[in-house]
């Protein structure tokens, strides 16, 4: 019997109930066909990236200042003292709007974060989930975690130690590459479906078929919002 969801589960789900049910059903089918334990997780974001609004503010303010400089070149009357306050408000206001936009519009916010930084944060988050959900508790140490992080649009697959020597890292990477384009389009359910299909194909080539999963790990989709500090 599957273990119940623990008390640490978030109150606000990341995906809809129908999407969660579809993902859980697909994970259950994968387990039935391969005989292994698979845990699916979806995060809203894997880090708060505190530097993003400041970088956006700096960019917005700089662009506004550049625009005002161009206006000053064309209109000398703008250098009068009574216009200084308006110019300062315009610069600070543009910076504030950019900072707010970076928080509300994921695509804009991602512009201020290096791709390798996002990939590292998602991987660290996946490691936390792997340990918190005790994926190492299976007898054969062959459980697999599949985690997607929506803000970063990154996928991480973490196999337990039992797969060392059986499946190469680049082969797991192929699962990620099949899921990533769909995740980038916001098609979370389809991404998990594609990932499960890739895992099935991969493990079938290793002779892993049959009903050997013992239900030690919950099939419930793990949903979180990443760091809350």
pLDDT above 60 (res 11):
no
- Report how far residue 81's alpha carbon sits from residue 87's, in angstroms, rounded to the nearest whole number: 10
> 74 CB contacts (<8 Å, ≥6 apart)?
none
Of 205, 198, 161, residue with least CA distance to 182: 198
The pLDDT assigned to 173 comes to: 94
Read off the pLDDT band of 225 (50, 70, 90). low
- Report how far residue 216's alpha carbon sits from residue 51's, in angstroms, rounded to the nearest whole number: 40
Give the start-end residues of each E strand in the chain: 38-43, 144-149, 154-159, 222-224
Of 218, 146, 209, residue with least CA distance to 178: 146
The percent of residues in the chain predicted with pLDDT above 70, rounded, is 86
pLDDT digits (tens, 9 = 90+) for 144-199: 999 999 999 999 999 999 888 888 889 999 999 999 999 999 999 999 999 999 99
pLDDT digits (tens, 9 = 90+) for 199-215: 999 988 777 666 655 67
For the segment(s) 17-48+114-224, the CATH number from 1.10.10.60, 3.10.310.50, 3.30.1360.30, 3.40.190.10 is 3.10.310.50
- Report how far residue 79's alpha carbon sits from residue 77's, in angstroms, rounded to the nearest whole number: 5
Report yes or no on whether pTM surpasses 0.85. no
Q: What is the DSSP letter of 41?
A: E
Show me where the domains of the chain are located: 17-48+114-224, 51-110
CA-CA distances (angstroms) from residue 3 to 65, 141, 214, 218? 58, 18, 11, 5
């Amino acid at each position: 019997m599957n273990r119940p969801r623990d008390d640490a589960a978030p109150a606000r789900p990341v995906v809809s109930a129908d999407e969660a049910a579809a993902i859980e059903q697909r994970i259950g089918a994968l387990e039935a066909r391969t005989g292994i334990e698979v845990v699916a997780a979806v995060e809203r974001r894997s880090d708060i990236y505190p530097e993003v609004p400041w970088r956006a503010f700096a960019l917005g303010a700089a662009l506004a200042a550049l625009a005002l400089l161009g206006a000053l070149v064309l209109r000398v009357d703008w250098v009068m003292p009574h216009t200084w306050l308006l110019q300062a408000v315009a610069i600070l206001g543009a910076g504030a709007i950019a900072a707010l936009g970076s928080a509300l519009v994921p695509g804009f916010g991602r512009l201020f974060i290096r791709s390798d930084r996002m990939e590292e944060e998602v991987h660290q988050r996946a490691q936390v989930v792997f340990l918190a959900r005790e994926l190492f508790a299976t007898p054969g140490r062959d459980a697999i975690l599949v985690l997607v992080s929506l803000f970063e649009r990154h996928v991480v697959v973490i196999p337990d130690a039992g797969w060392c020597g059986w499946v190469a890292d680049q082969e797991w990477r192929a699962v990620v590459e099949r899921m990533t384009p769909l995740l980038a389009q916001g098609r979370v359910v389809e991404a998990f479906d594609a990932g499960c299909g890739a895992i099935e194909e991969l493990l079938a080539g290793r002779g892993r078929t049959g009903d050997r999963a013992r239900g030690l790990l919950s099939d419930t989709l793990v949903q979180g919002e990443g760091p809350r500090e």
